[in-house]
Amino acid sequence: MMLRYRIPAAAVLLAALYPLSAGAIDASGPGPDIRALQQRIDQWLEGYNHGDVARMMDVFSADFTDEQQGTPDAMDKAQVTKLFKQVFAKYDTSIDAVTDELRASGDMAFDRGHYTLTLTPKAGGAPVVQQGHFLEVWRREGGTWRVQHIVDMHDPAAAGTDG
């Protein structure tokens, strides 16, 4: 039996910030900028892996916005922070994501890629699986790269199943 689940928006956002894959990506821009962006992505992952929402949210700019497919309005940093906390309270998470392209020029950059996210309810039950694609816009602020905007498009055909 196929069941469809609505994935919490912050959970989908988790996939968007997964580190660059070990495989080759299409990257261009000054080497120091590409490495700095990779370090910021790694910072987010370390925070995520330790449930450290503050460390994760440090990667986002103060005016950060997140547009999720299927939601009427973009979410701001405070709303996304709240959703991350809710996700970690309810689910064990697993993310497999690939950055397909990373470009940096001046004080702006973007990356795009695809992901598979698995959420396993802590209270028991079937895992929820979501696949999709993301685009992130980065801005250098005072020498530090921060995500300013994320657009996430999940693949409806990848809804979770009950086994």
**24 confidence band (pLDDT: 50, 70, 90):** low
Are 69 and 156 a contacting pair, CB within 8 Å? no
pLDDT of residue 159: 46
- Asked whether residue 160 is assigned to any structural domain, the reply reads no
Please give the sequence-ordered ranges of beta strands (E in DSSP) within the chain, or none if there are none.
26-28, 60-68, 75-76, 91-105, 108-121, 128-141, 144-155
Radius of gyration for the alpha carbons in the chain, expressed in angstroms and rounded: 15
In this structure, are residues 54 and 78 in contact, taking their beta carbons and an 8 Å threshold? no
Question: How far apart, in whole angstroms, are the C-alpha atoms of residue 89 and residue 14?
Answer: 14
Domain of 108?
9-155
Residue 82 domain-assigned? yes
CATH number at residue 44: 3.10.450.50
Cα angle 148-139-98, degrees, rounded to a multiple of 5 = 70
Looking at 4-60, list the stretches that DSSP marks H as alpha helix, in order from N- to C-terminal side: 9-16, 31-49, 53-57
Grade residue 157 by pLDDT with cuts at 50, 70 and 90: low
In a domain, 133, yes or no: yes
d(CA 80, CA 19): 19
Tokens at residue 88, please?
Answer: 């970690």
Residue 81 lies in a domain: yes
Query: Does any domain span residue 4?
Result: no
Query: pTM value?
Result: 0.78
Mean pLDDT of 128-145: 94
pLDDT tens-place string over residues 44-56: 777 776 778 899 8
Q: Is residue 84 part of a domain?
A: yes
**Is 161 contained in some domain?**
no
Number of domains into which the chain is organized: 1
Residue carrying the six token digits 């949210």: 57
